[in-house]
Amino acid sequence: MDKKDIKRSKFLSMVLRHLPESVGLTLDQNGWIDVRKLLSACAKKGVIISPECLERIVETNDKKRFAFNEDRTKIRASQGHSVSVDLLLKPTAPPEYLYHGTAMHFLSSIQNRGLVKGRRQHVHLSHDVVTAIQVGRRHGDPVVLKVLAKDMMDNGYLFYVSDNGVWLTDHVPSVYLVQEDRKGTHSDR
């Protein structure tokens, strides 16, 4: 994506995940919004996005943050909402391990509280170490935490997978976390 599309994509993330009211819109209960209404509302805020540009952003976004409905008349964020929506995700058995990328300066809090969802609806987990490192790098010196997902599920915790492959759960207690080094192998604390 070019710089203009990245800026538009970030604006769409803000609107579709956190602040639809900032452009005068309300998401439906499942997070969908009419594409024409979205583009019109964005234009009124000075963010011009053509239908072709929106298609390009959805198709080329490296994290597949957005999805169209089947007839492409509605759009929503795939996950990451801080506003209440029901993405109609079904509980799914996770692999034995999932991963969470964070920054070194958050480790102390995570060791005390585990992974908490904060303002979002879920804790976000990756299926691979490389993605977790990329996520952690956004917040500082990256650290990868291995999540003992199968053990959690065996103890009653639920997992979901978003349309773009992000694993979601409500909370990861610290007893289910193992710190990994940057190569994805266990490191002693």
Q: Tell me the residue range of the domain where 111 lies.
A: 98-180
List, for residues 148-167, the tens digit of each pLDDT value.
999 999 999 999 999 889 99
Of the pLDDT bands very low, low, confident and very high (cuts 50, 70, 90), residue 90 is very high
Do 103 and 73 reside in the same domain of the chain?
A: no
Do 110 and 47 reside in the same domain of the chain?
A: no
Do 7 and 67 reside in the same domain of the chain?
A: yes
Whether 189 has a pLDDT exceeding 80, the answer reads no
Whether 92 has a pLDDT exceeding 70, the answer reads yes
List, for residues 72-85, the tens digit of each pLDDT value.
999 999 988 888 89
Task: Please state whether 32 falls in left (phi above 0), alpha (psi between -120 and 50) or beta.
Answer: beta
Give the CATH number, domain containing residue 28.
Answer: 1.10.10.970
How many domains are contained in the chain?
Answer: 2
Q: What pLDDT was estimated at residue 81? A: 87
User: Residue 110 falls within a domain, yes or no?
Assistant: yes
Q: Which two tokens stand for residue 149?
A: 């997902």
User: Residue 141 falls within a domain, yes or no?
Assistant: yes
Report the 10 Å Cβ neighbour count for 134. Answer: 15
Q: What pLDDT was estimated at residue 35? A: 97
Do 120 and 161 reside in the same domain of the chain?
A: yes
